[in-house]
Amino acid sequence: MSRLSGSVTRVMHILDGADLGADYVVSHLLDETTARRSLDLSDLSPQEQAALVEGRAINLIPSAAVLAEKIEAARTEGRQFVIKYGIDPTSPDVHLGHAVPIIIASRLQRMGHHVVFIIGDVTAKIGDPSGRSSERPALTDEDIARNLSTYQQQVTPFIDFERADLRFNGEWLNKVSLPQLVEILARVPVSMSLQREDFRTRIAEGQGLSIAEFVYSVVMAMDSVAITADVELGGVDQLLNLQMCRKVMEISEQTPEVVITTPLIEGTDGTGSKMSKSKGNYVGLTATPDDVYGRLMSIPDHLTEPYLQLLTEWTDDEIRVVTKRLEEGTAHPMAVKRILAGEVVAALHGPDVAAAARAEFTARFSKRSFGDTQNLPVVSLKEHSEDTLGALISRTLDFAPSISAVRRVAQQKGLRLIREADGEQQTTQLTEASVQQALGAVVSEVGAFEGVELYLKVGRKVARIDA
């Protein structure tokens, strides 16, 4: 039995009839599935590795069988099996849409292979034209430097950079001579680029299409040549670019890489559009745990299954069990969505933070009382009576980055004291002036504690105040 199959057996036991809405069940489940994100998969055979990758791919070119053969050959030769993933720093944010192929790269890394994460500091100056209806505005060196400054940090939850390489394609592209480039371009048929529907549409409509955009995929392919890639990963919208990589490697007398494309994850609005910052239907990897959790809880029910497939380490068998339970009515869609949200938060921040985000969401949106929520932070009125509300919120609770930010919450009517007794709540809206008042004075204006639980709500964050 492989380590993965052992984990699947344990998870299937949890999923078989357990109350998926119960916190202790979710906690047990999350501990097991989160552990998979660091699970050593090197005990899988090359065929099993290829099958696991193929199960989440749209295209695997030439085939899963060839991928398995290449893995076996690298083992026999005693060399690293090189996995390439590249991204152009055209924006400062990496989002969950980008994470889909990166998660596959993580699995390949845990299978014992070598990941090379390439940041396109040169190709970003052209900008990937895939799917665009017009030219992308040119980026300056300063734009690129600002955008890429946190890329490694953003993808570190998925890629172990102690065992992977982070490279900038300027290392080799800045050294390419014109004769070298012309030699490659002379052997690339124009028809390869004209296969692109987006290019044909732009030409037909008289839209701008620069020569730089036209040869973007050739320049990008030189990255594969530079690192002698065995495999390259990308979204399915990258298919023609990746096929060009195979062509240029062949021209350079290298064995063409295996191409793996992954689905484009649908945006959180559920309209069918892909996740995109420009459409506002994305979840950024730098978002707070509560924001990640809340955004995933807002997705339409029909997105839960594909998100489980693309953003978690769940297997198809496990997803089928949950889908069947949803169809039979033995699991509630909201409970499964909470599991999904916890999975993603745990991937980015760990299971303890995911549990806290779950509790926070419950406190904000559940019909149950705040008293039913287990992991709310607690403030002692006795210890903090003289602290101003602004200092308490920003420094003690860390609910806001500054006292000014607390004032803004108050201005937006998001600062409240809530008295709760027998499940009934009474809310007092706090003004901007309250931010400078001592906690004791604010509480005294609300009323006595006897028989009442008191809570401080700051935007969507909640803390309990003890007498």
pLDDT digits (tens, 9 = 90+) for 128-166: 666 544 455 667 778 788 777 788 888 899 999 999 999
What value does the mean pLDDT of the chain take?
88
My answer on whether 287 and 348 are in the same domain is yes
Residue 440 belongs to some domain of the structure: yes
My answer on whether 106 and 243 are in the same domain is yes
Confidence of residue 112 (pLDDT cuts 50, 70, 90): very high
- Domain boundary residue among 336, 366, 396? 366
The sheet with strand 59-61 has its strands ordered as 59-61, 258-262, 231-235, 82-87, 114-119, 165-168
Residue 372: the pLDDT is: 61
My answer on whether 25 and 63 are in the same domain is no
My answer on whether 196 and 325 are in the same domain is no
* Residue 284 contacts residue 274 (beta carbons within 8 Å): no
- Domain boundary residue among 323, 338, 366? 366
My answer on whether 270 and 241 are in the same domain is no
My answer on whether 200 and 247 are in the same domain is yes
* Residue 106 contacts residue 158 (beta carbons within 8 Å): yes
Residue 29 belongs to some domain of the structure: yes
Residue 461: the pLDDT is: 80
My answer on whether 174 and 73 are in the same domain is yes
Cα→Cα distances 112→4, 40, 45, 148, 453, Å: 14, 8, 11, 27, 53
Residue 325 belongs to some domain of the structure: yes
Residue 396 belongs to some domain of the structure: yes
pLDDT digits (tens, 9 = 90+) for 70-108: 999 999 999 999 999 998 887 777 899 999 999 999 999
Residue 393 belongs to some domain of the structure: yes
Residue 359: the pLDDT is: 87
My answer on whether 211 and 98 are in the same domain is yes
d(CA 365, CA 211): 53
pLDDT digits (tens, 9 = 90+) for 322-378: 999 999 889 899 999 999 999 999 999 999 999 999 988 886 665 456 766 656 789
Q: What is the pTM of this model?
A: 0.75
> Average of pLDDT values for 277-287?
85
Residue 367: the pLDDT is: 47
CATH of the domain at 348: 1.10.240.10
Residue 447 belongs to some domain of the structure: yes
My answer on whether 83 and 201 are in the same domain is yes
Residue 435 belongs to some domain of the structure: yes
DSSP symbol at 56: T
- Domain boundary residue among 262, 296, 314? 262
Cα→Cα distances 9→12, 16, 306, 329, Å: 5, 11, 22, 23
Residue 46 belongs to some domain of the structure: no
pLDDT digits (tens, 9 = 90+) for 230-270: 999 999 988 989 999 999 999 999 999 999 999 999 998 88
Percentage of residues in the chain with pLDDT exceeding 70? 91
Residues listed for the chain: 467
Residue 453: phi and psi, rounded to 5, are -100, 140
> Average of pLDDT values for 49-65?
96
My answer on whether 250 and 103 are in the same domain is yes
The whole domain housing 144 covers: 56-262
> Average of pLDDT values for 388-413?
88
CATH of the domain at 449: 3.10.290
My answer on whether 391 and 360 are in the same domain is no
My answer on whether 115 and 254 are in the same domain is yes
Number of domains in the chain: 3
Residue 31: the pLDDT is: 93
d(CA 415, CA 409): 6
